Amino acid sequence: MPKERLLAYLLLAPSVLFLLVFFAWPFAEAFIVALQVRGEWSLGNFATMARDINFAPALRNTMLLILVIVPLQVMLALSMAMLLTRIRRQRDLVLYIWTIPLGISDLAAGIVWLALLSEQGYINTVLDALGLIEGPTLWLSYERPVALFVAVVAAELWRATAIVLVILVAGVQLIPREYGEAAEVFGAGAWQRFRRITLPLLKPSLQSALILRTILALEVFAVVVAISGRDLTVLMGEAYFWQNDYRDAGVASAYAVLILGISIACTLFFLRALRVREETEMR
């Protein structure tokens, strides 16, 4: 027995070491840097962060983005996953095409959408050619915060729905066909089967997808910067600007710690809200 246990620890060791070096240590480092001002322990960095003129807008924008993007993505991915179960031929091909955006870096995705939406962009050109607008329209400017927000939401939907989709497709495939067939025999309609069988059995996948997507949405940065510059500011962007432009690692770390805190809170919330009960767990 002890021998087996030793083997287990040995097999775990590389990943534990990896986590310690690349996660735990930077975590600790971020806290230390955030809590020190010129070598002395203090909450000064957090005070500077909270006083900054961009803090409130960044916090508000990040939260709004999460509230809008994550539900939309889950709904979209859910319908796409359901659609996939109905496709008989070339299913894999469709899945591959839908997941193409996963392979594109977020900065590149942002630039693609910028090229579409800018004043001289493709969408303007097409609309203009069709006579739907009078001359090129400037959508992406600080004067149109709603348009900026919608553009970022569109780009994020396009870019990151696939990750939710992949998780949900995997979950759907785990659900045994028999349940659905049995329900059909008892006369359940499509909506009832989805509502009563698929959705509850998909809960563990939904939970992972929600946690992953929310954390990633908290870190949204490159897409926003590419599309809006600093006109739509988000928490991660502020962290970057403090580190890179103002050369203040302390305040940048304070932002990082704040993002970490919100991530943990969201994760705990989803773990609780979507608690998987014993009887629905699949073995």
Give the x/- contact pattern for another protein in 133-152, rule: CB under 8 A: --x--x-xxxx---------
Give whichever of 255 and 270 is closer to another protein, judged by the CB atom.
255
Min separation Cβ 247 and another protein, Å? 4
Min separation Cβ 66 and another protein, Å? 23
CA atoms within 13 A on the CB side of 245: 7
Q: Which of 178, 245, 278, 279 binds another protein (CB under 8 A)?
A: 245
Q: Are strands 40-41 and 36-37 parallel, antiparallel or unpaired?
A: antiparallel
Q: Does 119 bind another protein (CB under 8 A)?
A: yes
Give whichever of 77 and 254 is closer to another protein, judged by the CB atom.
254
Q: Does 241 bind another protein (CB under 8 A)?
A: yes
Listed ranges 47-55, 78-86, 164-172, 275-283: which one lies at the site for another protein (CB under 8 A): 47-55
Q: Which of 22, 27, 96, 246 binds another protein (CB under 8 A)?
A: 246
The gap between the terminal CA atoms of the chain, to the nearest Å, is 26
Place of tokens 């304070």: 254
Q: Where are the alpha helices (DSSP H) in 87-144?
A: 91-98, 106-117, 122-129
Place of tokens 């807008």: 57
Q: Which of 228, 252, 256, 266 binds another protein (CB under 8 A)?
A: 228
CA distance 168 to 208: 9
> At residue 62, what is the residue type?
T
Query: How far apart, in Å, are the Cα atoms of 205 and each of 192, 199, 225?
Result: 20, 10, 31
Listed ranges 66-74, 172-180, 194-202, 246-254: which one lies at the site for another protein (CB under 8 A): 246-254
Please enumerate, as own/partner, the contacts of 153-156 that have beta carbons within 8 Å and a separation of 24 or more.
153/65, 153/68, 153/69, 153/72, 154/113, 155/109, 155/110, 155/112, 155/113, 155/223, 155/227, 156/65, 156/69, 156/73, 156/217, 156/220, 156/223
Q: Does 80 bind another protein (CB under 8 A)?
A: no
Q: Which of 147, 183, 230, 267 binds another protein (CB under 8 A)?
A: 230
Min separation Cβ 25 and another protein, Å? 25
Give whichever of 79 and 141 is closer to another protein, judged by the CB atom.
141
Residues comprising the chain, all counted? 283
Min separation Cβ 228 and another protein, Å? 7
Q: Which of 120, 132, 178, 187 binds another protein (CB under 8 A)?
A: 120
Q: Which residues bind another protein (CB under 8 A)?
A: 52-54, 119-120, 135, 138, 140-143, 225, 228-231, 241, 245-248
